[in-house]
Amino acid sequence: MKNLKLTLAVFLVFSLILSTFSIPLAFAVEDSWVSKAPLPLSCWGIVTLNDKIYAIAGSGDYNNKTYSNNAVLEYDPNLDKWTIKDVMPIKRYSFALAAYQNRIYIIGEPDGLNQVYDPIADTWENRTSMPTPRTQLEANVVNGKIYLIAGRTGGADSTVGLNEVYDPETDTWKTKEPIPYPVVQYASAVVDDKIYVIGGQDEYEIPNPNLNVTQIYDTTTDKWNFGAPIPKVVWQTAAGATTGELAPKRIYVIGGLPEKELIAVNWTQIYNPETNTWTNGEPIPTARFQLDAAVLNDILYVMRGSPFFNLNGIYSYENEQYTPADYIPEFPSWAPLLIMLLAVLAVAVVYGRKLRN
């Protein structure tokens, strides 16, 4: 009987210790935004790599230096701090960004240039340029390949539906199935080996060039199909996908310009790829278009942008962090060790009382 009581006591103490960690996790429902350290410079795009966010082609004055579409900045979310890294070999803009195996790929303007940046070594190298130089498009990484879909080859009326794929391991390009609706300035994200191209501008659909179409490319079959249309039409928006590990598997489409409007919106539209449905999330505090979204550990960071269309000199340096609904915080790396130590302590206390008795 005494051994049974001792066992029950140890179990209850250990359960109490575990509950101190599990209760906050079980009831973590967020759907909220907070402001973080703003961008030090304007930039043309952001990308995540190794738990950091990199802002590429920065412009402006910082620490008594002037940059012009050539600065690389590194953001550490844990420290909420920005650092100036290397300067790009040439000035660039209107490119696509991708990160793969500790490298950042900057592909597009000028002339389809494909430059690779190593943040650890702080060095650059040139790789094989894209076969068809394009702008106003996105890059998505799936199973070690970088997909560059649609975009413009020149000025107005030059939108194409090309789907060109780059293999960083062999430094080669291949052409895949073109997108059904050629678009520019769209939102895109990857979920389960599929690339979701959402909205954008289709200049051939006059007089309503901004589409509500959700185009889905299956990289395993090289086929396209369609998902539920986005409820509120936007372009020049941003998208990020959560993995299902710490937050439900979703695609978040944030901000942008609504159809036929010149003032940015603060909408957060959420797509569930498993049910093919849309819902609304908490609006972003700073309405803007031409913004970018990055996802780290299922937390979204939204940066850059402008509040009005075609108004020079107005730029948003805001860095706003979004925690999705039903987000489950990670255990700190030291949590398992602490639990073990507390469990040992609990056992020692119980046995100590037994000896005294």
* Residue-wise pLDDT tens digits, 22-50: 444 444 448 999 999 999 999 999 999 99
Residues 11 and 149 in one domain: no
Residues 192 and 214 in one domain: yes
* String of DSSP letters for 207-251: T--B---EEEEETTTTEEEEEPPPSS-EES-EEEE--SSSS-S-E
Residues 138 and 9 in one domain: no
CA separation for the pair 111, 109 (Å, rounded): 5
> The sheet that has 45-49: what strands, in order across it?
45-49, 52-62, 65-76, 81-87
Q: Is the pLDDT of residue 336 over 60?
A: no
Our count of domains for the chain comes to: 2
> Residue 156's CB: how many other CB atoms inside 10 A?
7
The CATH number covering residue 241 comes to 2.120.10.80
DSSP type of residue 44: S
Q: How confident is the model at residue 239 (pLDDT cuts 50, 70, 90)?
A: very high
Higher pLDDT, 192 or 337: 192
Domain annotation covers residue 270: yes
Residues 215 and 350 in one domain: no
Residues 89 and 223 in one domain: yes
Domain annotation covers residue 329: no
Residues 248 and 346 in one domain: no
Domain annotation covers residue 317: yes
Domain annotation covers residue 107: yes
Instruction: With beta carbons less than 8 A apart as the criterion, state whether 76 and 52 touch.
Output: yes
Nearest to 219 by CA among 263, 252, 174: 174
pLDDT digit string, tens, across residues 150-204 = 999 998 889 999 999 999 999 999 999 999 999 999 999 999 999 999 999 987 7
Domain annotation covers residue 330: no
Mean pLDDT of 104-132: 96
Instruction: With beta carbons less than 8 A apart as the criterion, state whether 43 and 56 touch.
Output: yes
Instruction: With beta carbons less than 8 A apart as the criterion, state whether 257 and 276 touch.
Output: no
Residues 129 and 12 in one domain: no
Domain annotation covers residue 347: yes
User: What is the residue range of 167's domain?
Assistant: 29-323
